[in-house]
Chain A
Amino acid sequence: EPEVTQTPSHQVTQMGQEVILRCVPISNHLYFYWYRQILGQKVEFLVSFYNNEISEKSEIFDDQFSVERPDGSNFTLKIRSTKLEDSAMYFCASTEDGDQPQHFGDGTRLSIL
């Protein structure tokens, strides 16, 4: 069964640095998502992306964050000037259309020191 893959599995970054989290969605999917899960808390929606533009974003997704689909396969989340509170698991998801269930990757654990 096709999978959403995320790299790296664990990223350690100094506070203030920029980090890019990478995702390869399922190949025929058109809708892409990023979520965040702080340790011990629920999953929180960050942003959705369709047709090469952001379709929705939450209040968490401020100017510090950006997303990009640089080629036909990757979907990236960039976090500029990282803060300690950005430490979390970041999940990517994709779906074939907006009504179908999302398929999630196994996440990138981001640790900000």
Chain B
Amino acid sequence: LAKTTQPISMDSYEGQEVNITCSHNNIATNDYITWYQQFPSQGPRFIIQGYKTKVTNEVASLFIPADRKSSTLSLPRVSLSDTAVYYCLVYMNTGFQKLVFGTGTRLLVSP
């Protein structure tokens, strides 16, 4: 069974940088890695997407090593409103390609 694993939870304080890693050993060769944020009772919201190396947008950075077997979402200077669950989403090689969400990381940002 294809798996993507993330830490279950992380705690941080306002203003700190938070790095969340997703392990995806069996990732498909040619597809993007995407990260989403989810608040309770809402659908996932797109944060950032990348294929390799580093990608940065106005809210986050994404670091992807050369082997692409993991990826790290970096949130600079988190605020209370960043408290949410964060998921990676990748295509896996499972005999047929399949979209797999990571196990999710619950981030709690405190004052």
Report which A residues bind B (CB closer than 8 A): 4, 33, 35, 42-45, 48, 56, 58, 91, 93, 99, 101-107
Q: Determine the interface band of chain B, counting residues with CB < 8 A from chain A.
A: 20 to 34
- Given the interface contacts A105-B43, A106-B41, does A43 sit within 8 Å of B101 by beta carbon? yes
Binding site secondary structure of chain B = strand
Q: Which B residues touch A104, using CB under 8 A? A: 36, 43-45
Contact between A42 and B49, CB atoms less than 8 A apart? no
Asked if A42 contacts B43 (CB within 8 A), the reply is: no
Give the chain A neighbours of B32 by CB distance below 8 A. 99
Within the assembled complex, what's the spacing in Å between the Cα atoms of A99 and B30? Answer: 10
Complex Cα–Cα for A34 and B65 (A): 30
Cβ-based interface call for B80 (8 A): no
Is the C-beta of B108 less than 8 angstroms from some C-beta in chain A? no
> By CB atoms of chain A within 10 A, which of B45, B99, B102, B103 has the most?
B99
B residues less than 8 Å from A107 (CB atoms): 41-43
Q: Are A91 and B104 in contact (CB-based, < 8 A)?
A: no
Q: Give every chain A residue within 8 A of B36 (Cβ-Cβ).
A: 104
Picked from B41, B45, B96, B103, the residue with its CB within 8 Å of the CB of A42 is B103
Instruction: Name the distance in Å between A37's Cβ and chain B's nearest Cβ.
Output: 9
B98 A44 Cβ-Cβ under 8 A: no
What are 7 A-B contacts defined by CB distance under 8 Å?
A: A42-B87, A42-B102, A43-B38, A43-B44, A45-B101, A56-B98, A106-B41
Interface residues as binary, B75-111 with A (CB distance below 8 Å gives 1, 0 otherwise) = 0000000000001010000001111111110000000
User: What residues of chain B lie closer than 8 Å to A91, measured between beta carbons?
Assistant: 43-44
In the complex where A91-B44, A99-B32, A105-B43 touch, is A58 in contact with B49 (Cβ < 8 A)? no
